[in-house]
Structure 1
């Protein structure tokens, strides 16, 4: 013989596999805890902080935008109110309107103008401190005061002049310039009418001082969440002013008003427009500090507390896991040392605190106890099996002797021309063969009906034509599986407890059909004769419904036999069998409902 050579590479591979260090339950739990709890928790918390930051930033900036817009609308209304007030004061002064219309040409003209118009100028200056100066441009021939100027000297471009000349009643045209100190200043232009509003007598120019813009910007900045935010102003697409604390890089001017976020540069902007004058004010600042404007250490504090909490939970978790691992290791060592076929119960400490270990050990001890009982039963069953085998071999001798004897009697009856006796003996022999051949295997409906036919042949000879028997079975159900001797005991009970109890001719009807609804097979066995008493009927149906135990049923009657048939059917069709008895006049009916599988 040739000696087989071992593969050295396979041996090395096997050694490497078997020599690999296995991880304990404690080590595996630690790794899983860190990988599945600690890291995901920290990651989720960081994502939550970032989401909260972004969400709060957006909501804060949107609220800030709304507040700034409302304040800017109030400023616009204030400026419009100033213009309307000055125009109303001028137009309601008859001397001024007469003067501009050129209606004063007498010697008292100078005195009247000096007396009425100069106090009007002073009143306007005291009522509206935001106005630095105002002028009326007119084409009147005589100019007595510096306030009145020639219309050709309007400081407007040709396009602006055309817009002013074509403006509507009370329509205001705004212009923004830059003061000497760099702040934007506003100027407004509108038509002035006579007292009847029928003729334009001049054009009013109102110039606001730079303090008005400074006060407006301070009010707007007080409404910002970010105290370090700056702003710049854009007029006609050009930047005309930038606050000194605006340290951010140049931000792209948004086309529309609203909030804009610039993640790459970590900046934001609130864009606003002062309607009418086309002046845009853009506030800009750092993006993320807006959420924790009250305390920049809040995120760090929260994350630190979370880490400390996780570390504490980590320590407590591993302390418990280590103790649990030791208990499991001790129990597994006990199982390894247990001899095969001689298992012993595990003695659990009375101070065991782990419910899992207690449940595991108790389940194991119960298994050992049941295994011991099962072994005893198996030994007893083995002894009974040996006895049954012997009895089976012994019983094989008797049936052949009985069959031979019955056949001899049948041949003797036929020789004496007694055909009824010969037929009865033949049916009896067939029934005995069927009963002796009963096995644990299922029979068929066709075979069960054949057994019933043999039995009815005997009973019809017994009753001498006073018994009528009829079978109507669906041919597609002849292969239906049934336990052996299912129908014959029911028919026998019908004769013993029903038909034989009266002197009237009896009748047995067997109906077997399939109900389309529910895919159910219905077996109905009806008989005439002495009907069941109502109390007895309720008692048997209660037993068949599982509401009564067999020990509570009276011995007379057919309740026990029907219950045995039901139990055998339930083994073949679990949870798909329904059996009951119905009684009506002289008829008693046993109904079996079998739910077929889909």
Structure 2
């Protein structure tokens, strides 16, 4: 629980940092620290395995050297046979030669050549002496000596087992090499009594050759696991370290080990002929004194390489983060009064895609804000015009009604009829119904408008309105249809010399209400028609198509009122006429049933005022 509470604030502070700091911290956490940690532990493991393998190799060499020592000691023990079975020596020790001259004669003739041969065949024999048990014989120093001159005590002599020898360590101390001596009883010809003791002293070179494997750094011999009999130290190791090493080694065991805590290689071997355990202790620093410089060079190279890789990583990371930071810095300057797109170079990668998407978003937001401002301006203008047109409307209505009544009284039917339809149009225009009306009201208003033109132009113009849908309560903006019909008359029918005709058909589908306005006028040239269609698609106000302002406004009002699904379709052929289709989205609550309006069709020549 404590770890979670500690880590959570750290992660929170980390995530709040900038992207550059996150990448730097992440690089050290994910790459640098794991590499250094794993490299350190790998180095430790490899070093430990290498030192253990080295300790095993040194152990084999140490064993070979002690095998050599054992072979030489066996050769030295075999000298006993040469003396015991030499009759001249046994006779001499038993006192067969009564005078000194005979003793000297037999010594020179028979015994001295044997001694010379022994020294010649045994290079590690320092001296060979015999200590006689008979004090009355003639002693020839230093080969034949009295028993009193023997270095070991009488108890040690008696402890030598019959038929076997005994190795003794003489002159042993903790600084100099010990002196190895071999003792064995010589018996009379009947093997009933001991007539003397053979002593063979071994040269120092034999033991010195054995411990050469340890490099004479720290080699010592112990007995019974704690008594240090011999200690040769050239490495300066402390006595405490040596004692600790000796205590960790099992007595009468042989083997090798690497002590990682003290960086020490230990080789130990029990030699039963001397009842000693020999130990070689050496620090790894002294073994790899030359390797230490190479190791430091290798570590420095790895660190330098890691720094170089870090620099390369920083260059790549900076090339990545620089673009992100520039984009983020530019985005902080964007507000409602500054919607400029990012001006930098956009590359073909993920960041470039993000930048391009940002520019598209800014451009779209700017377009929407501009459109909203235009619609707000149009709405205010419409409100102003509506307010201006509502100045005393009853006075206008009364005046038109007076004109109509006077025309009827004086028999002017045409004037009376035009006044009637013009009054209806003015009443619809000046009414305070807001900007929303029903499609039925719009159709009635268009019918009144067309009747005035039919009366004005006469036989050269006709119209028809066919309703095949329920338009009674279908909502639509006011003055939606009149501009289209007016365009058909002014820019279409009026420009041809043949009788003109305007037809309006209203039909419905499951999702749409369609208003089709068709005329047989002059039509629209192909290039101009394509420009108008492009205007519908892009919803951009035409700069040069002055005659298309009405269509542009109707298209914008449709999308504002019904949504993006409403649109205008325009088809035209020059000298044949034009068809304009308004596709209006039906509201969900509007039904598809047909009322009385659905069955009503107004003929081209309808003159009724009802």
TM-score (normalised: structure 2): 0.48
Q: If you compute each CA radius of gyration, which structure gives the higher value, 1 or 2?
A: 2
TM-score (normalised: structure 1): 0.49
